[in-house]
Structure 1
Amino acid sequence: MQKILNFCSDIEFYLKIAVSCTIVQQVFYLLLNNIKIDFITQVLLYWLLGSISFYSIGILIEKGIKNNEVLRDKLTARVKKVKNQAFPSFTIRGIITGEIKAFLSALIILYLAPEVHRGNSLLLNLGWFLMRIVAADFCFYVAHRLLHTKFLQKIHLKHHEFRDSSSFVAGHKSLVEYIIVAIADVLPIFIFGYDITQLCAWSVIGNAYNLEGHSSLSIFFIPSDFHDLHHTCFNGNYGIQGFWDRIFNTLNPPTKKPGVMFPVSFIKYITIQSSISNDIEKT
């Protein structure tokens, strides 16, 4: 029963990403459908959406949710406590460098990836996003696990300077790691092709779950302390969520956050409590 619930929890995460992306894609389709968008405009749109959503969602989490004690305590997923760390202040130079990397990535991705037009079919887009997140999770798992080998570990150490995570740790990487992770993330696009409305939706939702995953909070997408444990222990939990770690036996078992936004975790919590109650009654 527990194995089934664990599998359902991973599927729940994938479905949340796919459904959220599909909804956002519909919005972009309505806004862009009647507009002729050339290559440079696509690059600028993809880059700007990624940057604006990254900073705005990160600030909302760090300055909004975390500054509210009630919300912070309710949503905190971290179980194993670590020493508090102050995240380095943003600098103009750092922001400019980051935006140059992001713009060049957008330019290269859209230049090399095959463009397709999938319209606003809900089923077609849902399928594309579902394949996209499962494939992206696998590609990230492989790249991330390689970054923890002794040959590539130094590349990844900058990201692991922080154990008490801030959302913005998601973007705290060395240049080489940035390139490796970017390649891993876009590989599915070269397999499935891209529609600019799909890419825009993925950019926004991808930033949302990535920032949440590094925030030590369970808000909507992240149902556990899965990635917190990775930063605390420096091994295991190499995927975006636990599916591929479960497959390849590298899972450091996370503590699930039950609640209305995470129904599978809630069902598992009720099941465990019921089992404990039955054992007590028998004794």
Structure 2
Amino acid sequence: MQNFFNFCFEIEFYLKIAISCTIVQQVFYWLLHDTKLNLITEVLLYWLVGSISFYILGIFIEKGIKSNDVFREKLTARVKKVKKQAFPSFTVKGIITGEIKALIAALIILYLAPEVHRGNSLLLNLGWFLMRIVAADFCFYVSHWLLHKKFLQKIHLKHHDFQDSSSFVAGHKSLIEYIIVTITDVLPIFIFGYDITQLCAWTFIGNAYNLEGHSSLSIFFIPSDFHDLHHTDFKGNYGIHGFWDRVFNTLNPPTKKPGIMFPVSLIENRIIKSSITLDRSIKSIE
């Protein structure tokens, strides 16, 4: 039973990503399907969607949700407490440097990746995004696992300046790690090809779950303290989510956050509570 719930727990995350991306892709398709885009326009669009959504979503989580004591207490996923840290503040130089890197990355990706026009078929897009997240999770798992090996560990230490975490820690990494992570993220694009509407949707939702994953909150996508434990313990939980860590036996078991947004955890929690209540009733009768 436990293995069944663990499997459903991982699949729920993948399905949330795929369904959310499919919905957002429909919006981009509706906005762009009558518009002829050349390479430069696609690059600028891809870059702007990624950059604007990163800052807007991050500020919304940090200044909107986390600044509210009630929301923060209710949505906090972190169970293993660590000493609070002061997070780096934004600087003009840091923002400009980050945006130049993002723009160059967008240009290289769209110049090299094969473009495939897939239209707005819901089923086709859902399948593409489902393959995309499973493949991206595997690629990220492998690269992240390697970054924790001694010969590459120094590259990754900047990201691990923080045992505690905050949304914008997602972007706190060295240049070499940024390149490695970017290559990792785009590998599935070279396998499956890209449609600009799919790519924009993936970038938007990718920012959403990445920022949430570093926020120590469970809002919609992140159903546990999976990545919090990785920052706390510096080992295990190398994937985007726990599927590949379960497969390769590197899982640091997370605490699941039950709630209406996380139906698998909610059902599992209620079954466990019912089982405990039943056991106590039987023992009292005996």
Which residue is 1:213 aligned to? Answer: 213
Map of 1:42 onto structure 2 = 42
Aligned positions, number:
283
Partner of 1:147: 147
Match of 1:269?
Answer: 269
Q: Distance in 2 between matches of 1:203 and 1:65?
A: 22
CA distance in 2, matches of 1:13, 1:20: 11
What is the distance in 2 between the residues matched to 1:273 and 1:241?
26
Aligned-partner Cα distance in 1 for 2:166–2:52: 18
What is the percent sequence identity of the aligned residues? Answer: 81
Query: Over aligned residues, Cα RMSD in angstroms?
Result: 0.6
What's the counterpart of residue 77 of structure 1? Answer: 77
Displacement of 1:107 after TM fit? 0.4
Aligned partners of 1:89 and 1:182: how far apart in 2? 23
- Cα deviation, residue 277, structure 1: 1.7
State the match for 2:244 in structure 1.
Answer: 244
* Cα deviation code 1:116-147 (max 9, x no counterpart): 00000000000000000000000000000000
User: Hey, what's the Cα distance between the residues in 1 that align with 2:272 and 2:231?
Assistant: 27
In the alignment, the residues of structure 2 paired with residue 234 and residue 262 of structure 1 have an alpha-carbon distance, to the nearest angstrom, of 26
Which residue of 2 is the match for residue 195 of structure 1? 195
SS in 2 for 1:46: helix
List gaps (5 residues or longer) in structure 1. none
Structure 2: distance between partners of 1:274 and 1:237: 30
Moved over 3 A (4+): none
Post-superposition shift, 1:246?
A: 0.3
Structure 2 unmatched ranges of 5 or more: none
Offset from partner CA, 1:141-162 (integer Å, 9 cap, x none):
0000000001101100000001
C-alpha distance in structure 1 between counterparts of 2:155 and 2:270, whole Å: 42
SS of the equivalent of 2:4 reads helix
CA displacement at 1:278 relative to structure 2 = 2.6
**Partners in 2 of 1:143 and 1:100 — Cα distance?**
23
Residue 268 of structure 1 and its aligned partner are, at CA, apart by: 1.0
Partner of 1:257: 257
- Letter of the aligned partner of 1:120 in structure 2? N
Q: Equivalent residue of 1:87, what SS?
A: coil
Question: What TM-score does the superposition give when structure 1 sets the normalisation length?
Answer: 0.99
Output the TM-score relative to the length of structure 2. 0.98
Match of 1:104 in 2: 104
Instruction: Report the equivalent of 2:186.
Output: 186
